[in-house]
Amino acid sequence: MKAHCTLAQNSNKRLIGILLGVATLLLLPFVAMQFSHEVKWTLSDFMVAGILLLSAGLTLELILRKVKTRTARVIACIVLFLSLVLIWAELAVGIFGTPFGGY
């Protein structure tokens, strides 16, 4: 019983860390907008970035909970990170030329 409680507490701490991390990352462009006219995010930009970051964070949590071997965890985390970067870049500047690109 004690081991189960410890596991649940660690998972809750990770989830809180993910939520705080997403909030902190979203504060960066918000603060930059206060000091520079070059950063121009709209509400929809913040919403899309929040959804993207939160889904990546929760997927990371799922990987850490379900994937047992270290090698598989590392590979899954690399794939997740590369996916996040490619989607972010496509949404920002349209590197693949899809209709979702920034131009």
Distance, CA of 66 to CA of 101 (rounded, Å): 33
As to burial, measured by CB atoms within 10 angstroms (0-12 exposed, 13-18 middle, 19+ buried), residue 97 is exposed
pLDDT, position 8: 66
Q: Cβ(33)–Cβ(41) under 8 Å?
A: yes
Domain spans of the chain? 2-93
pLDDT, position 6: 64
The amino acid sitting at 27 is L
The amino acid sitting at 64 is L
Name the pTM for this structure.
0.84
Task: Please report, in tens digits, the pLDDT of each residue of the chain (103 residues total).
Answer: 455 566 567 778 999 999 999 999 999 999 999 999 999 999 999 999 999 999 999 999 999 999 999 999 999 999 999 999 999 999 988 888 888 776 5
